[in-house]
């Protein structure tokens, strides 16, 4: 439904989007994950016909975003980071106004207004003015305006920005429900958003796509597979010499030393019984073992590896 080829956008000497290419299919919830300034918003603005690109091309549902922008806009619902709301209008009046702007036939406007109110959970605030709404309800109203013309594609830029934890979870659940029927692209720099809602992730950094895949596949490819945390009481030189000699150990770091206890974080090859092998190593050498924990490499590890930045973990997944 969306095809992007070699898209490039510059602001003077700054290359905001650098030769980006990707596809998005019907039924996908595609997450754009990247640090601030990575190029997420600029890419979305090109896809929604808000900006033109300097190079490359993009199509939405078969229509060119540069030459057929009116047709593209008919097929996209767009929720920018700051929802386009008129604070002095009533909630119902605002939605009716958007229905008119979207050229929905007059006979269908009331029905579509009722449907988006139900979808976005606005029943309790329909008698209020937009300016009276909390930020969470304003975001819901912004989502409603993007859905009112029933587009097959929904594009959202930082849809949970500035919301409290409960509001974030509510919007996340809405995205998951809407994603059952529509193709969704949304950008974020908050890791749990993509982990909890996306079927596929694009990681963008410095204007380039640096990773593309499901959350599980991206985690599998990072650092060879798994991480083991182990704490041992024993001679440091001998322990580290033995660790260096293990063929399944990619790398290890001593992360803590307290009262003779040495804590190591070990990156191991995929498909190995690293924890079991390390346990046997400790037993065979007569050392004391106080901790042994194996875990898969996380999406956070992937993000850090590819972008050199920590991810925002405002809400646990």
Same domain, 13 and 149: yes
Q: Which of 188, 220, 252 is the last residue in one of the domains?
A: 220
- pLDDT for the residue numbered 296: 62
63/183 same-domain check: yes
Look at the chain and report how many structural domains it folds into. Answer: 2
Cα–Cα distance between 91 and 89 in angstroms, integer? 6
Helix residue ranges per DSSP H, 203-316 = 215-221, 236-244, 274-284, 299-307
What percent of the chain has a predicted confidence (pLDDT) above 90?
A: 59
Choosing from 171, 196, 220, the residue where a domain stops is: 220
pLDDT, one tens digit per residue, over 258-303 is: 888 999 988 887 667 888 999 999 999 999 999 998 876 667 767 7
Is residue 158 assigned to a domain? yes
- The band of 313, judged by pLDDT with boundaries at 50, 70 and 90, is very low
Task: List the CATH number of the domain containing 155.
Answer: 3.40.50.300
Q: Is residue 168 part of a domain?
A: yes
Tokens 């918003």 correspond to: 41
Q: Please give the pLDDT value at position 222.
A: 56
- Residues 156, 67 share a domain: yes
pLDDT at 311 over 80: no
| pLDDT tens string 81-134 | 888 899 999 999 999 999 999 999 999 999 999 999 999 999 999 999 999 999
Does residue 317 lie in a domain region?
A: no
User: Is residue 150 domain-shared with residue 249, that is, in the same domain?
Assistant: no
Is 307 domain-assigned?
A: no
Whether 104 and 155 map to the same domain: the answer is yes
Question: Quick one: 239 and 91 in the same domain?
Answer: no
pLDDT score of 44 more than 50 = yes
Q: What residue ranges in the chain does DSSP mark as E strands?
A: 2-11, 14-24, 29-33, 55-60, 63-64, 76-79, 153-157, 183-188, 200-205, 208-213, 225-233, 249-258, 261-269, 288-296
In a domain, 310, yes or no: no
* Span 173-222, pLDDT tens digits: 888 888 888 999 998 877 777 877 888 999 999 999 998 988 777 766 65
Q: Is residue 309 part of a domain?
A: no
Asked if the structure places residue 177 within a domain, the reply is yes
Which of 220, 243, 263 delimits the end of a domain? 220
Is the pLDDT score of 223 beyond 70?
Answer: no
Reported as half-sphere exposure (CB side, CA atoms, 13 A), residue 71 has a value of: 10
The domain containing residue 248 runs over which residues? 221-302
Predicted pLDDT of residue 174: 86
Give the position of tokens 């060119």: 64
Query: Is the pLDDT score of 312 beyond 60?
Result: no
312 inside domain: no
């Amino acid at each position: 439904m969306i095809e992007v080829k070699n898209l490039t956008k510059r602001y003077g000497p700054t290359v905001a989007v650098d030769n980006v290419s990707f596809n998005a299919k019907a039924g996908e919830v595609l997450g754009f994950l990247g640090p601030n300034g990575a190029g997420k918003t600029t890419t979305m603005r090109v896809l929604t016909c808000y900006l033109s690109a300097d190079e490359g091309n993009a199509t939405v549902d078969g229509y060119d975003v540069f030459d057929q922008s009116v047709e593209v806009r008919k097929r996209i619902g767009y929720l920018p980071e700051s929802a386009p709301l008129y604070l002095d209008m009533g909630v119902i009046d605002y939605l009716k106004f958007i229905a008119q702007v979207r050229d929905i036939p007059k006979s269908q406007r009331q029905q579509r207004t009722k449907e988006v109110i139900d979808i976005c959970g606005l029943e309790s605030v329909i008698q209020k003015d937009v300016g009276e709404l909390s930020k969470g309800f304003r975001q819901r109203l912004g989502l409603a305006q993007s859905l009112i013309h029933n587009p097959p594609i929904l594009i959202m830029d930082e849809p949970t920005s500035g919301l409290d934890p409960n509001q974030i979870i509510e919007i996340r659940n809405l995205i998951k429900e809407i994603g059952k029927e529509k193709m969704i692209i949304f950008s974020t720099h908050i890791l749990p958003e993509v982990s909890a809602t996306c079927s596929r992730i694009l990681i963008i950094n410095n204007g380039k796509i640096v990773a593309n895949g499901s959350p599980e596949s991206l985690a599998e490819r990072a650092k060879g597979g798994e991480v083991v945390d182990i704490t041992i009481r024993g001679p440091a030189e001998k322990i580290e010499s033995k660790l260096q000699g293990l063929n399944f150990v990619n790398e290890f770091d001593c992360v803590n030393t307290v009262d003779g206890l040495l804590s190591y974080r070990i990156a191991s090859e995929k498909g190995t019984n690293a924890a079991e092998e390390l346990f046997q190593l400790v037993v065979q050498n007569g050392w004391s073992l106080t901790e042994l924990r194996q875990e898969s490499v996380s999406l956070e590890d992937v993000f850090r590896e590819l972008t050199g930045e920590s991810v925002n973990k405002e809400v646990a997944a």
